Amino acid sequence: KAGLHTRPAATIVKLASKYKCEFFIAKDGLNINGKSIIGVMTLAAETGSELILTFEGE
């Protein structure tokens, strides 16, 4: 219910970092590196936020 706070953000970054592909998360026109905990936290995604996930490469 707290949205994308530290623990789930860290889980996403840890999982994404296992892959060679580039991973981006977009919210409200802001596109960030999904493998960066600082980037993911910058989104300040609240519960119900619409996120667009983009993967490029292998």
List 1, 2, 3, 5, catalytic entry:
5
pLDDT band at 41 (very low <50, low <70, confident <90, very high): very high
pLDDT per position as a tens digit, 5-39: 899 999 999 999 999 999 999 999 999 999 999 99
CATH number of the domain encompassing residue 10:
3.30.1340.10
- What pLDDT is stored for residue 5 in this prediction? 86
More confident residue, 4 or 49: 49
Calpha distance 56→47 (Å, rounded)? 26
- What pLDDT is stored for residue 18 in this prediction? 94
- What pLDDT is stored for residue 1 in this prediction? 61
Calpha distance 58→46 (Å, rounded)? 30
Q: Does a structural domain hold residue 38?
A: yes
Q: Does a structural domain hold residue 1?
A: no
Listed residue (40, 51, 50, 46) closest to 2, CA to CA = 46
Calpha distance 34→26 (Å, rounded)? 9
> For this structure, is 42 an active site residue?
no
Domain count within the chain:
1
